[in-house]
Structure 1
Amino acid sequence: MADKNFTRNPRRCDRWRAGPELMQTSKMTRPRTRTEDTRRRWCIPSALLRSPGEKLNGIAILEEMPDSVGLLLWLTLDDVTLWATSPPKTRPRLLGLCSPQRLAVLSDEAPTDLRCALEFLSAILALPGDADEDMMGRACLAIAAWARGRSQPRTALAFAQAGALAAPMLPEAALQTAISAQVLREGARAETWLRRTIAVARRAGDWSTYGSAYALLGKLQFDQGQHAEAEESLRIAFRTAGRIGIPLVRRNAAHGFFQLALARARATDDPAARDRFLVEADTHAHDAYRAQRAEQPGSVPLLLDLARHWIMRGDAVQALGALNRLRTVGELTPGDTLAIAAITARAAAAARRPKLSKTADERASQMLYDQSITENAAFAAAVDLAHAAVDRCDHTSFDRARSAALRFAPEVEYPRIIKTLDSLARAWKPLEGDGAEAGQ
């Protein structure tokens, strides 16, 4: 039997005839160790480096900042990328990178954080052979944070990615690159960087970043309709947060499970299954609410989602409590401010507080047509205002909200929103009294 097997494979037959020495040194017969399995399982995957249609690396910087500072940043990005992608043996020959003479274009009014980061890169690249990777990566992340604060997302993505290339074993840099790509709705690019973050964080033992990456990957998969994959990613994130004790990761994972349960409730026609999924959504909503902290990033979308859910479930008081937490959030975008005002109007009307509802309605109505607000945000706010007007029995506000909703409604949503608005117009529920206003 053995002779038959060996004759089927001449290479194995020759190796057997050569004696035990060749058999012991053969890679085909040497057993794979557990260490090798671990390294093979958690090898660092590559990631997408350019956006669709981007022909020149970092050219979006000049589009966002067509001035001398933009040119300085683009040249700096090019130098850092050249250093990061060069073999370590050739780096000592890369002289003249990030020349200090370039910094002369910065005015005295230039932000301190930007100036310090650029000066640090210039100093560290003066000796390119001895440059520290992690320090290079963190300097690039500082520039990315500066750009993000100025609402320049493509510049933020370019420097976050440069930091991840310069410091390939820095999990934070890979995660910030994925987040920046996700902000720009580059799903494929964000997914590759999230998977890279997971591998780097696991190898570095950075379990906070590891859990955060899995939570974001679950959210991305959910947005792409991959619900089974999203559930698995969120489960890993939730388990990691529970084992290490990370409230932010636990909150993000619970928020993902909440959205998944709501999606399944909307997709089923079985009343019993729908009720079961809604109960699951309630549980995950309270988990996310308990894990939420004022200093955590991403508080606004979470609390707005929870407030809308609790209004739909008939718990307007709980919704107002979630909205009150948003007072501690620092800077808000115009879209966030509009959404908070519109949902406050809806929750207050449902809680029988018409004066608070009317005040929030007027504030939101003034912002509906602001040019800095997207049509999707204006559409969602208009629908909330229509619900609030119905609960207040305010025909004038309802007509105004109806017109805005029809104007901003996406084409695919138009038939559904007309049906919804018509049903609202037949469901007036006048409020009686305003006793709760005494505490406001």
Structure 2
Amino acid sequence: MAMNIKRPNGTEDVLPKDVHKWNTVEKIARETAESFGFSEIRIPTFENTDLFLRSVGETTDVVQKEMYTVKAKETEFTLRPEGTAGTIRAMLQNGLLNEALPQKVFYMLSCFRHERPQAGRLREFHQFGLEMAGSAAPTADAEVISLAKTLLTRLGLKNIELYINSIGCPSCRTKYHEALKAYFEPHKEELCDTCKERLVKNPMRLLDCKSPICQEIAKDAPLITDYLCEECDEHFKKLQAYLTNLGIEYKVNPKIVRGLDYYTKTVFEFVTTEIGAQGTVCGGGRYDGLIEQLGGQHIPALGFAMGIERLLLVMDKQGCDYLTPKKCDIYFATMGDAALEKAMELVKDLREFGYCAEYDLMGRGIKAQMKYANKIGAAYTVVLGDNELAEGKARLKEMESGNETEILLNDKFTTNFENEYFNKVLDIMDDENGSMFAFTGEDK
């Protein structure tokens, strides 16, 4: 029987040729979050299953259909399906919420959901997300949305629309639930089996069902914005005013409820139509009761998450710029053992200066070495043989132009190469008008 060594369905390999795209998103995301005062946090890949049952909600698709749960002896663990629950758990357990508020953290992590794989929807996927705990003010909502908008803009994304809604607090949602039950009850037998259960336990979940039949029934359902209490209504109006003041365009969409039960008041999504059905590239909102629900004090909180795979799909579709992938700065082609040993010494020195330097590891002939240097995109090459060693100098060749410069093979070789290389880099940067993606000494 043949061994199955293929990657699991719903997962992807990120190959070396594409890693620079991920590095671009991660670098800009990290720098943007830090510019807003957020600090990075790292949490376990799996948590006790009860954490997600209590936070995400037993009536959600995530809990009912999508979680990867493992039993180890008497303990049950679940691979995280999202980042918020584990992050809040970490903030509680490590006392961060006893420190100065608001606490602001961000993360980049992998998540796991057993879904039908398709473009932009995988069983293992990656998120950039953040959480802010401590502020109940609508200014915090505007700040978090502004951060998401800033990041999307810095990534170069276009034609991304922001939709916002308020799903109220437990007080005003009680009346809304009654209105939803009254609306859906006559259609009960037409609903999918999952929604029949939701109608009893959490009728708002019916608005998020993916069944075409349930969606058709729900299109004329009552709107939450008509049932908001005075406090929630005022909060939502102030948020809209702050977004307008910040110059952030938005549309109110009363049908947005998000897919997880812990949300309250503000919910929002950044959506594109350019990658098909899975067009939400960022989703988030407020969850003022989650910390208390997990055993802490009543501390309001909010956040969002972005799917990195979906961001990359949109960036590729729109032709966005990526940071230049790192390539070989200098390659030494050698002839003979003495030249090989000298190349090893020079490579060692160059690497200590931060350069990517390589030499032959395959025992190739000189022509094959030069062909390899060209394939790996080496910026410069140096051929070393007995003559070069005897004379104590060699020719530094710039591969793109073919220009050659004589450089001494002495203690100053690294400095001489650095001067030659950086003079060329400065010329390139001048030509590119200092593009943010130009190679600079800081990137080394």
What's the TM-score once normalised by structure 1's chain length? 0.21
User: Looking at both structures, which has the greater relative contact order when contacts are Cα pairs under 8 Å and sequence separation is at least 6?
Assistant: 2
Between Structure 1 and Structure 2, the one with more strand by share is 2
What's the TM-score once normalised by structure 2's chain length? 0.21
Between Structure 1 and Structure 2, the one with more helix by share is 1
